[in-house]
Amino acid sequence: MMIQNHASVEISDVTAFALSVAREAADLVMRILPEGMTSKDVRHKGPRDLVTRADHEAERLITARIRTRFPDHGILAEEGTAASGDVRWIIDPIDGTTNFAHGVPMFAVSIAHEERGTLRCGVVVVPPLREFFVAERGRGAFLIAGSEPPKRLATSGVAELSQALIATGLPGEPVRSAHVATIPAFMRDAQEVRIMGTAAAHLAYVAAGRLDAFWEPGLNAWDVAAGILLVEEAGGRVSTFTGQPMTPPGGDILATNGPLHTTLLERISRRT
């Protein structure tokens, strides 16, 4: 199928489905974004782990669409929806819930489709910016924004850390403190370090060549599944902190443009 309104990118029916569901979820969460914390029903899942009614509503919407269209597929979603199956959907209805709860317009909806352990398609939407990052295995990664034609994504060519804009995240304990201690060395040696509060958007930005690398320990499958495919299909590299392939998705992730991977792996493993 061709992406709707755009003749230049061919995507599978499954990817087109993921994109259309992501659009619906993006519209839903944007309607709730301006509301106050009480109306958003902000609750704590952990000391630094928030959830809102928008997370639940978006997850219900996405999983209802999946169950109608693909009743035998498995589901793994952040807010608890689960169904087993070796063909499954991995969903974060809002990645960056803390930003969303506070009204900061930087968060993502992340939907990935995996078949027997291989990621097949991934969609990361940054709803406030109306940017849709779409990847399909073997067909590349694209950015769809407004009425512009889809733009093929490619990671950057930056090879020197001193020229690199890199990003990290702040996971919960028990890994948080040790990770935070490693960040100042990168602040010293990289061009800049960003912490935008959404792993999915960080990965989409690596795919788009806006960021040169992203690393964070202790992530969940739903934070990274779609973003991993985006980075790989855009020509970048994704591994664990020991350089192993990230299968299944989740854990300690290093995603780079490619040229920076070895340098960053070495530095992360020696903790600076």
Contact positions toward ligand IPD, by CB under 6 A?
49, 78, 92, 95-97, 169-171, 197-199, 216, 219, 223
Tokens of 136: 């399909």
Q: Which is nearer to ligand IPD, 161 or 170 (CB)?
A: 170
CB of 98 to ligand IPD, least distance (A): 6
Q: Which is nearer to ligand IPD, 88 or 179 (CB)?
A: 179
Q: How far apart are CA 150 and CA 141, in angstroms?
A: 10
Q: Which is nearer to ligand IPD, 54 or 264 (CB)?
A: 54
Strands across the sheet with 118-126, in order?
82-83, 74-77, 87-95, 108-115, 118-126, 131-136, 140-145, 151-152
Q: Which is nearer to ligand IPD, 140 or 197 (CB)?
A: 197
Q: How far apart are CA 213 and CA 208, in angstroms?
A: 11
CA atoms within 13 A on the CB side of 26: 24
Q: Which is nearer to ligand IPD, 16 or 91 (CB)?
A: 91
Tokens of 252: 């300690």
CB of 225 to ligand IPD, least distance (A): 12
CA atoms within 13 A on the CB side of 37: 11
Tokens 């939907």 belong to: 111
Q: Which is nearer to ligand IPD, 49 or 173 (CB)?
A: 49
CB of 46 to ligand IPD, least distance (A): 9
The SS3 assignment for 109 reads strand
CB of 117 to ligand IPD, least distance (A): 23
CB of 1 to ligand IPD, least distance (A): 30
CB of 240 to ligand IPD, least distance (A): 16
Task: Tell me the Cα Rg of the chain.
Answer: 18
Query: For the residues of 184-221, what is the DSSP string, one character each?
Result: HHHHHHSSEEE--S-HHHHHHHHHTTSSSEEEEEEE-H
CB of 12 to ligand IPD, least distance (A): 26
Q: Which is nearer to ligand IPD, 127 or 169 (CB)?
A: 169
**Residue type at 218 in one-letter notation:** G
Tokens of 202: 């960080």
Q: How far apart are CA 7 and CA 60, in angstroms?
A: 32
Question: How many residues make up the chain in this entry?
Answer: 272
**Residue type at 23 in one-letter notation:** R
Closest residue to ligand IPD: CB criterion: 169
